Chains A and B, each alone.
Chain A
């Protein structure tokens, strides 16, 4: 079984301040890790992904995430947020299961950027 825990349901942050959205996962096998963003009334957009290699992954819109195997974490960071970053962010893990990739999403973290 695999699971994803997003520790914060809502994160308010002032514009131009740094932000970290936390994600922890559990799995008995190797997984792939993703962060998605969802704007109001929109589908999901892939921000970044970790498949293998360097543990620091850079994505779109200035976001980055670091895979920490020992702490089973994949926290998302941005050094300076903008109003347009206000959205809901989902962490997801994926692993091979019976011939297809089983994907599990976290419950999401709502990022509220305050002017």
Chain B
């Protein structure tokens, strides 16, 4: 296993279009997180899953954002009706459940979204 994999690495889309990103976590990791990183800022937590259950989604930025992890393995993040303000790097991370959520989280290389 080579780590957390995200696809695509880059996505350019027109405003108003829908986009979907995929994250494949490290295979034995049961926790998966999505973060957004805008230019000049640190990563901002969006949501996380333990297995297939989405345990926290209140930080998703609007109802245009949704995430799924149907079989407890890979996850998708969808943005509907994209806006220019959605342009950012979307990071995925995974870990084993434990006392400290982020103790051993491993991050993917991210998907850079540009909305034109």
Contacts and interface: CB of A to CB of B under 8 A. Distances in A.
Which of A41, A45, A90, A103 has the most B CB atoms < 10 Å from its CB? A103
Interface in B35-50: 40-45, 48
Contact of B107 (A41, A44, A49): A44
B101 interface: yes
Which of A4, A51, A101, A107 has the most B CB atoms < 10 Å from its CB? A101
Interface string A61-104: 00000000000000000000000000000101010001111110
Interface of A: 4, 9, 32, 34, 41-46, 49, 51, 90, 92, 94, 98-103, 105-108
A43 B41 contact: no
Contacts of A101: 100-102
B105 interface: yes
B4 interface: yes
B41 A108 contact: yes
Contacts of A42: 109-110
A60 to B, nearest CB: 13
A85 B73 CA distance: 34
Interface string B68-103: 000000000000000000000001010000001111
